[in-house]
Amino acid sequence: MRAAVDNFSILLARRMKAAVDDDITNAFKHGVTSAYTELRGTENKVEIDTADKELVRSLQGEPHFSRSYNNYQDGLRESLQRTISIGIADGQSISQIVSEMGKSANLQTYKLVRLARTEINNIYNEGRLRGYLKGEKELKRQFKYRLIVMQDRRTCRAHLELASRIPGNGLILGDLIQLQQEIGNRHGLSLKGHSLLHPNQRTVLVRA
């Protein structure tokens, strides 16, 4: 039984990873397209090139993603094994145990999906950054941008500072990234060459 639960946990974790990876790719492409067409118009089509695809792969492979999947797999396995043990000890029928296993699996999956939703927002912004850069390169001019920062009790100090320091008329991309690097370093965060300070933020990159 333990081996069967282990195998099931591995299989479900792999399927969830594949599904989230697809969502990440789609979110990135949507981000690129939405930003690019803001600058170039809907009649112009943007190409997702090799550099874009490599960036998506690097984002999918970042450590916090790997930890999330490993935690999901481990949590699912432990939860299912505990559910089975309790069911047997309580004298539950097979159908009752299977029903409780389904509830346990749904709970663990919900935790992963909730995390993935935030990650996908990050990827979407990465796509928007790429789309704006592509549009600027083709038009041979720079525009100004800002980050709309969700401000509530969950907003970190770095983003509260960031929101207060971006002028109303925005900044060119280079200056916006430099400002984030400055604030990120002061708060112990690393930009890693991407568009945002850290993956657990709720912001949107927009043209000013």
Residue 1 confidence (pLDDT): 64
**Which positions ≥6 away from 57 have C-beta within 8 Å?**
none
User: Which has the minimum average pLDDT: 49-58, 78-87, 115-124?
Assistant: 115-124
Q: Render pLDDT for 66-112 as a digit per residue (tens, 0 to 9).
A: 777 778 788 888 888 888 888 888 888 888 887 888 888 888 777 77
Alpha helices in the chain (DSSP H): 2-40, 50-60, 63-89, 94-139, 157-165, 173-186
In this structure, which long-range contacts are made by residues 14-22, counting pairs with CB atoms below 8 Å and at least 24 apart in sequence?
A: 16/69, 16/72, 16/109, 16/112, 17/69, 20/112, 20/116, 20/119, 20/120, 21/60
CA angle 169, 146, 167 (to 5 degrees): 40
